[in-house]
Amino acid sequence: MQIHYTGYGENMRIVTIAAILLSLTPGRAADVTLVVQPPMAPPAWALLERDLLKFNSRAVERFAARYVDERGYLLHTIRWGTLDGPDDAIETFFNWTLLHALGGSDRVLELYRKAQEGHWKQYGELRTKLTELAANGAYYKEFITQSDWFHTGEGMRAFLLYGLSAPNDPVYRQRMTRFAGMYMNEDPEAPNYDPEKKLIKSIWNGSKGPMLRKATVYDWVGDPVPGSFHLLHNPARRSKLLDMKKYYPRMLAHCAEYLDSVGDNSLNLASTILALDAFALTGDARYRNWVVEYVNAWKQRTEECGGNIPSNVGLDGKPGGEYDGAWWKGTYGWNFTIFDGELEQIAHRNYFTSGSWPGFSTALLLTGDQSYIGVLRRQMDNIYAQKKVENGRTLLPQMYGDPRGYKHNGKPQWYHYTPNLFTDRLAEIYLWSMDRKDLERVPKTGWIGYLEGNDPEYPAKALQSDFEHIRRKMRQIENDTTTPDTRLADYLLEFSPAATNTLVNLMLGGDLGAGRIWVLHSRFRYFDPVRRRAGVPEDVAALVEKLGGDSATLTLVNVNPVEARTVIVQAGAYGEHRFDTVTAGGKTTSVGGPLLRVRLEPGSGQRLEFKMARYQNPPTWAYPWDRGF
């Protein structure tokens, strides 16, 4: 095949690689178009991927038709609380914006917008008597009045990724910059941040500022509402309808030991995603500077604790400052071993990874500085240094401190050993660092095993499994006999049908853990230049086959045997990486930027081998055509 390659002056020549280099100007990446002509019979994975995007979209429409009314209200009984409150209601739509950004239908994004706007209105109507937090609604200025970032972050997952698909939405830009400003003291009604001590003042924070008192069980649980409900936060009782008036004391007992609030908490590191998104929308350096300032403060505090990420930072700026230097104490901290009065048992709830992993990785995205991932690696090293092997099983401590029920002689110690080896978090460290030493603790199974060449059939099998997921959800919806007056906010979480994790792995070379607060780190992303939207164009399928520290292998296929398709491939979810070269059909072409246009002739496909540099560019959500590409 003869394709034209055009460069500067004497470099004009004809080559047998399908590439056209256009409009190279100083200070701007080359506008490179790769033309793929070799015929490729659609592989099973490609057909499955295209169908999964289609049926995910249809399943979302079916869910919305059943459970969202014409106002955008989720059909359930509204209540304040962290067990089944506003964060759970909007979390129901947690991956709909991501689905659209992958290539789901435009209707998916329309339905998300409707649900998000309806959610703010619906929970704006909430009134409480037992807690002041929602006395005039759960939201103020469209942001939660006060909550912890474990719950705030879960509820905002779809909103935090909406910019992937709608970077030019002026209302979204206004909201995101306003929300980020609430953590940068730009809103006098939300003085959450202490710029001198470089800390967020409470685990409870939001549009009404920090909670500088002990929380109450009513802050956590909210008011009771009349009726009987399925209570999903209690696994032993979720199949039953329980009268809330009778059961309410048990719900309060669930959170009886959750009352310490003052001082910074590692969960608050997740708030950095707001500033990351504001930066990606505006390019304003103040958002990046705030993240670096705040995360650097946590980096220093972790160093002071021997490489352990502290659970609490006092208002004096010192680790453990609210507990006489005991950095391991605090709600959801290393020593958070409590008696759950609802479950009537001891519970260990150390959420040290929930805010710190997104927080430190956000700093990596904004700076390219791998030392932030070094903080997470050292934390895992500290835990692994305490491992035990019993009956051939490796056990790791999940907790640290001076807990009830353990012999500790008054001294803090590692405790609560379980088979949880944190392999999912270790996989994230590896994918961010691409250091082969980080891979040593990660099982070479599933998607990681596929990338290592262990299971060539994995893509098709994983995609087929997601079809089964959608089928089960559709059957659940069909068989659901509940009514809005028997459903609380968390009930419908298990009905939301879209399956996106496998698509993120296979299409983007990224990884998003279930139930996590998301920052989308990936090796690739795609745009449709014809329809001027995010996601792969119709009929195009993508498979990331290999990932290296400075390389990646991607196969693109046009399953349409009649019409050509053009896709723009981006290096990273935010354009944070740089393509140096691309090799196809044995021929190598220079790229020198984050974007590559690929024209796929009818029924064609090709494996593309990229040489690339990771975390080289400032994150942006701008469309390629708005960047002059």
pLDDT > 50? residue 12: no
Tell me the mean pLDDT in the region 146-157.
97
Contact yes or no for 530/560 (Cβ under 8 A): no
pLDDT recorded at residue 234: 73
Q: Which two tokens stand for residue 185?
A: 């003291």
How far apart are alpha carbons 425 and 584 in whole angstroms? Answer: 34
pLDDT > 50? residue 548: yes
**Pairing, β 551-558 against β 540-548:** antiparallel
* DSSP assigned state of 508: I
Query: Which residue in 345, 348, 343 sits closest to 328, CA to CA?
Result: 348
Q: Which two tokens stand for residue 570?
A: 């981006």
pLDDT > 60? residue 5: no
SS3 437: helix
Q: Can you name the residues that pair with 393 across neighbouring β-strands?
A: 390
Q: Can you name the residues that pair with 22 across neighbouring β-strands?
A: 31
pLDDT > 50? residue 465: yes
Contacts of 125 (CB under 8 A, 6+ apart): 78, 137
Orientation of helix 352-367 relative to helix 423-433, angle to 10°: 10
Split at pLDDT 50, 70, 90, the class of 240 is confident
pLDDT > 90? residue 411: no
Q: Which two tokens stand for residue 62?
A: 């079916």
pLDDT recorded at residue 222: 96
pLDDT recorded at residue 405: 65
pLDDT digits 0-9 by tens, 603-623: 999 999 999 999 999 999 999
pLDDT digits 0-9 by tens, 275-304: 999 999 999 999 999 999 999 999 999 999
CA angle, 345 then 347 then 352, to 5°:
175
Tokens 């619906």, located at residue: 122
pLDDT recorded at residue 285: 98
Contact yes or no for 448/442 (Cβ under 8 A): yes
| Residue 18, CA distances (Å) to 35, 212, 312, 598, 628 in order | 5, 63, 56, 9, 22
Architecture of domain 47-503: Alpha/alpha barrel (1.50)
Query: Which residue in 85, 175, 70 sits closest to 131, CA to CA?
Result: 85
pLDDT > 50? residue 16: no
How far apart are alpha carbons 153 and 161 in whole angstroms? Answer: 12
Strands, DSSP E only, in 8-101?
13-15, 19-22, 31-36
How far apart are alpha carbons 512 and 506 in whole angstroms? Answer: 12
How far apart are alpha carbons 76 and 487 in whole angstroms? Answer: 5
Contact yes or no for 112/206 (Cβ under 8 A): no
**Pairing, β 139-140 against β 31-36:** unpaired
pLDDT digits 0-9 by tens, 98-145: 999 999 999 999 999 999 999 999 999 999 999 999 999 999 999 999
pLDDT recorded at residue 556: 98
pTM of the entire predicted model: 0.94
Q: Which two tokens stand for residue 428?
A: 């994230």
pLDDT recorded at residue 128: 97
Residues above pLDDT 70, as percent of the chain: 94
Number of Cβ atoms within 10 Å of the Cβ of 381: 12
pLDDT > 60? residue 10: no
pLDDT digits 0-9 by tens, 364-395: 999 999 999 999 999 999 999 999 999 999 99
Start-to-end CA distance of the chain, whole Å, equals: 26
Contacts of 463 (CB under 8 A, 6+ apart): 45, 48, 49, 52, 502, 506
**Pairing, β 31-36 against β 595-600:** parallel
Sign of CA pseudo-dihedral 170, 172, 174, 176: negative
Contact yes or no for 80/148 (Cβ under 8 A): no
Alpha-helical segments (H) within 95-221 = 96-102, 106-124, 149-155, 157-160, 170-181, 217-221
Residues above pLDDT 90, as percent of the chain: 90
Tell me the mean pLDDT in the region 216-232.
93
Mean pLDDT of the residues in the chain:
93
Split at pLDDT 50, 70, 90, the class of 601 is very high
pLDDT digits 0-9 by tens, 301-337: 999 999 999 999 999 999 999 999 999 999 999 999 9
Split at pLDDT 50, 70, 90, the class of 193 is very high
CATH number of 3-36+523-627: 2.60.40.1180
Helix, strand, coil shares, percent, the chain, to 5? 40, 20, 40
Instruction: Tell me the domain boundaries of the chain.
Output: 3-36+523-627, 47-503
Which helix (H) or strand (E) element contains residue 277? helix 272-282
Tell me the mean pLDDT in the region 470-480.
97
Q: Is 564 left (phi over 0), alpha (psi -120 to 50) or beta?
A: beta
**Pairing, β 31-36 against β 19-22:** antiparallel
Number of Cβ atoms within 10 Å of the Cβ of 285: 11
Which is more confident, 85 or 14? 85
pLDDT recorded at residue 438: 98
pLDDT recorded at residue 3: 33
